[in-house]
Structure 1
Amino acid sequence: MSPENNPSSGIVSQLESWAKRNINPLFSKDTWITLGEYIGLGRPVSNRPITTARELGSFVSSRSSHVAQSALYGYLKTRAGTRFPELFENPKMLASINLAKWHIYIACISDLAAYMGVLLHLRTGSDNDKVVRLMSRVVDDIVDEIGMPDEAGDDFHESVEALKIRIENMDFSMHEDGDAVFSVSPDALYKWSPIADELKRFDRTPVKNSVRFRWKDVRETARNLFDAQAVIESFGEPGSSGSA
């Protein structure tokens, strides 16, 4: 593949430019590629209308991934300062980052799926059981696609089960359009971030608030893109593909 057609080349260029402005040590090209992949540079996020259950799942998954990674790496960068890229050259730290990334991602899916279910109920007046079935289908599809990554650790299945149980047992009719349901991801960022406890204990409030702040734009985007009635109409009951 020629350099101009290699998406990693653009990532490397952006990171090298950033490094020249902010970092004295020079890191290997492989490190910049790895760091770029983690930060998500060059990954456009779709702003297409959400009209099917499948598109709803894609929105929940992509936005959750963005919030999880930006919150985690933002916190790590704050703590590590100019040595931030070095974290990605340390195998043990990289393993801890990967572990945290997956658990925080699942927590973000939990919060955003809950919020989209609330919007679905508010905008369509659908009964709670139907919203639960639809959002459970959305979550199951996301989880099936994720699988059980080895790097996510032995406790990952517990995070996944907690996500499923929350959606299955949620009464969406009891919530308003706001930030109240975004309660799992702030705790997950604080819990799973690979920061020493003696340092982390000073960060509880700002760390949790950093996640809450990132959800603000996601909620606004969801309000603008979400065609709840179309999604309900696209949803097939069990036994049907339902355009999901």
Structure 2
Amino acid sequence: MASGTHSQTPLFSRISDLWRTLHDYLVAGLRRRPEPVNDPDSLRRFLETRASYIAQTSLYGYLRTRAGMRYPELFDDDVFVASINGAKWHMWLACLSDLTVYAGGMLRRHAPGSPVDVGPFMQDMLQAILEDNGVPEDADGEFPAHAERVRARVRQCDWHEVTDGEGPFSESPAALVRYAPIVEELKQLDDEIVRNSVRFHWQEVRRDLRKHLDADAVLSAVREAGAG
């Protein structure tokens, strides 16, 4: 009996760590009073926290739905855990990509008279976030190439074409279907539901940014920093 308890300890430890992480994101997303987004630092915090929140909850939610009662057993398989970690970071990159494009479009739409060029500003912010995170230890070998695709998307973005809707959120739904460690046959069956689920999760994030973004203040701070 004692040996059985010891053999299960790593499994329960992993599950506990996972749920502690998810709880932190849920509390952050649902209970924390959103702060004003009125300077570059607060915009960056918004991008980082919301991208992480959508990535984590979308991926783990899909896995739990598909696995059902066997969900805890997934974390007793080291190979599968490595696949989950790789998928987690690809989802984060995709979510960061979508939200960066959306936020840049909102800045341009809500401060059309600002002399600040939104494109270079959003490129610099994205680059700072990616540099600070580096290549995570539990990411897979495709992470650097995916990060470069995110940079290219933001670099090539036509900010005048970015709409205040679901249009910018094209990468994250596709990434969940592509990277989730679930057999292809099931992902094909789930495709439309999974994509719609991710789009739905973004609705609250979009509402928060609309409500709390002060585009003039953000771009004024950028202009003043440049002048200084």
Task: Place the TM-score, normalised by the shorter chain, in its bin.
Answer: 0.7 to 0.9
- Cα distance in 2 between the residues matched to 1:29 and 1:89: 9
In the superposition, relative to structure 1, how do residues 69 and 236 fare at CA in structure 2: closer, same or farther (>3 Å)? same
1:32 deviation in Å?
A: 3.7
The one-letter code sitting in structure 2 at the alignment partner of 1:216 is Q
Map of 2:28 onto structure 1: 44
- Cα distance in 1 between the residues matched to 2:88 and 2:227: 31
The one-letter code sitting in structure 1 at the alignment partner of 2:14 is T
- Cα distance in 2 between the residues matched to 1:100 and 1:230: 36
Map of 2:16 onto structure 1: 33
TM-score (norm 1): 0.82
The one-letter code sitting in structure 1 at the alignment partner of 2:179 is W
The one-letter code sitting in structure 1 at the alignment partner of 2:43 is L
In the superposition, relative to structure 1, how do residues 27 and 140 fare at CA in structure 2: closer, same or farther (>3 Å)? closer
Q: Residue 114 of structure 2 contacts residue 219 of structure 2 at CA under 8 Å; is this kept in 1? A: no
TM-score (norm 2): 0.87
- Cα distance in 2 between the residues matched to 1:236 and 1:157: 31
Name the SS of the counterpart of 1:179 in structure 2.
coil
Map of 1:66 onto structure 2: 53
Q: Is there any run of 5+ residues in structure 1 with no aligned partner, and where?
A: 1-24
Name the SS of the counterpart of 1:151 in structure 2.
coil
Map of 1:95 onto structure 2: 82
1:144 deviation in Å?
A: 1.1
The one-letter code sitting in structure 2 at the alignment partner of 1:170 is C
Residue by residue over 1:180-208, the C-alpha shift from the partner in whole angstroms, topping out at 9 and shown as x without a partner, is 11101111010000001122111111111
What number of residue pairs does the alignment pair up? 217
Q: Is there any run of 5+ residues in structure 2 with no aligned partner, and where?
A: 1-7
In the superposition, relative to structure 1, how do residues 38 and 232 fare at CA in structure 2: closer, same or farther (>3 Å)? same
1:40 deviation in Å?
A: 3.8
Percent identity over paired residues: 36
Residue by residue over 1:99-128, the C-alpha shift from the partner in whole angstroms, topping out at 9 and shown as x without a partner, is 000001000000001000110000001579
Q: Residue 120 of structure 1 contacts residue 126 of structure 1 at CA under 8 Å; is this kept in 2? A: no
RMSD between aligned residues: 2.4
- Cα distance in 2 between the residues matched to 1:87 and 1:107: 24
Map of 2:4 onto structure 1: none
- Cα distance in 2 between the residues matched to 1:128 and 1:172: 14
Higher RCO structure, 1 or 2 (CA under 8 Å, sep 6+): 2
1:44 deviation in Å?
A: 2.2
1:39 deviation in Å?
A: 2.1
Map of 2:203 onto structure 1: 216
1:116-131 to 2 correspondences below 5 Å: 116-125=103-112, 130-131=117-118
Could you tell me which of 143, 148, 166 is aligned with 2:153?
166
1:30 deviation in Å?
A: 1.6
In the superposition, relative to structure 1, how do residues 126 and 91 fare at CA in structure 2: closer, same or farther (>3 Å)? farther
Map of 2:99 onto structure 1: 112
Name the SS of the counterpart of 2:181 in structure 1.
coil
The structure carrying a bigger helix percent of its residues is: 2
- Cα distance in 2 between the residues matched to 1:220 and 1:157: 31
Q: Residue 47 of structure 2 contacts residue 99 of structure 2 at CA under 8 Å; is this kept in 1? A: yes
* Further displaced range: 205-214 or 80-89: 80-89
